[in-house]
Amino acid sequence: MEKTLQVLTELEHDGLLVRYAIGGAMAATFYVEPVLTFDLDVFVILPQAAGLLLTLTPLYDALRARGYTEEGECVNIEGVPVQFLPAHNALLEEALAEARETSYGATATRVLRAEHLAAIAVQTGRDKDRERVRLLLEQAPLDGEYLRAVLARHNLEARWKQWTT
């Protein structure tokens, strides 16, 4: 995975991504016991193209030029299926802006905060997201005040209460 993260950092350096951070199940493993996952979810802010439409085409073209291939909704980068998820709402934009700088091996990267992972799970609302919230509550060092503020800013307090009481 370290080589995959190096490629992502290069893509950011080359301007194909404005910012990226690891999200989803892989990000959760930075805070809780690992769970089975088949891909690396990477939340991204893309450069603004001409017009208002954001597209992954320049990113995919650059990856193809480097020899990486698409597999369904993922791109196989150094043996790791990577799913690029554009930040399409205020919660994801905030999560990317507040992502924690960390290292994976010798490679610098960013990982979404555990509080944002929980809020994103609540917003997404799938069964596996409910399980992620449970694990984060049990195992992650959550900042309760920060989490409450995130939930309030993004109108997720009612669903949070349903999921956690």
Domains of the chain: 2-164 (3.30.460)
- Contact present, 118 and 147 (Cβ < 8 Å): yes
Instruction: State both tokens at 96.
Output: 């990317």
Amino acid 136: pLDDT: 96
pLDDT score of 50: 59
**Whole-prediction pTM:** 0.93
pLDDT tens digits for the chain (165 residues)?
Answer: 999 999 999 999 999 999 999 999 999 999 998 777 889 999 999 887 656 677 899 999 999 999 999 999 999 999 999 999 999 999 999 999 999 999 999 999 999 999 999 999 999 999 999 999 999 999 999 999 999 999 999 999 999 999 998
123-127: long-range contacts at Cβ-Cβ below 8 A with a sequence spacing of 24 or more?
Answer: 123/89, 123/91, 123/154, 123/156, 123/159, 125/159
Which residue, among 107, 114, 111, 82, has the nearest Cα to 13 in the 3D structure?
107
Tokens, residue 137 = 């509550």
Alpha helices in the chain (DSSP H): 2-13, 24-28, 57-65, 90-97, 114-124, 127-139, 144-153, 157-164
pLDDT, position 51: 61
